[in-house]
Amino acid sequence: MRFTEQKMISILRHRGYRLTPQRRAVLRVIASSHDHLTPAAIYERARQKYPDIGLVTVYRALEVLGKLGLICEMHTGGDCRSYLMRRPSGHHHHLICSGCGEVIDFADCDLSSLEQRLTQKTGFKIEGHLLEFFGRCRNCQRVDSA
């Protein structure tokens, strides 16, 4: 955590952004949650530590933090935007519990052979992919069957 915060500071500075308590608050909220949070949820939580923060500022902080690669935006089914801490891993994907919203990261997607096949068949130059799994975590499976 300390690491992340240090890193954040250096990244912000390096790109000419300022380190404000609001941005710190937003980042901490996201860092301390394992779920993906909507802007409104982030706002609610950030307010507990920093009551004067405005929703607008949360949106702006999310934009900046996203631009810096510190957090990432997700598009999961219904509600379109939600944010999650970007783990150091870089390229990765999500396994999302449809019950409680828990998110597990994984990186080993190995879609290269599929990519090659698609390139050959279509002539597309493939630049990226979006891969997310949906399911039920252990806990929610238990609740389901109860």
Residues at the site binding DNA, with contacts judged by CB under 7 A: 12-13, 16-23, 38-40, 50, 52-57, 59-61, 63-64, 80-81
In whole angstroms, how close is the CB of 57 to DNA at the nearest point? 3
Our CA angle for 95, 99, 101, nearest 5°, is 50
Q: How far is CA 57 from the centre of its chain?
A: 18
Q: Between the CA of residue 63 and those of 39, 69, 99, 125, what are the distances in Å?
A: 11, 10, 28, 28
Site residues (CB under 8 A) for a second copy, limited to 47-86: 75-77, 80-81
SS3 84: strand
Residue 52 touches which member of DNA, a second copy, none, C-beta under 5-8 Å by kind: DNA
Q: Between the CA of residue 12 and those of 3, 29, 68, what are the distances in Å?
A: 14, 17, 8
Residue 104 touches which member of a second copy, DNA, none, C-beta under 5-8 Å by kind: a second copy
SS3 44: helix
Among 10, 48, 116, 141, binds a second copy (CB under 8 A): 141
Residue 110 touches which member of a second copy, DNA, none, C-beta under 5-8 Å by kind: a second copy
* Residue in the block written with tokens 């698609």: 118
Among 1, 56, 130, 146, binds a second copy (CB under 8 A): 130
Binding site for a second copy (CB under 8 A): 75-77, 80-81, 95, 97-98, 104, 106, 108-110, 114-115, 117-118, 121-138, 141
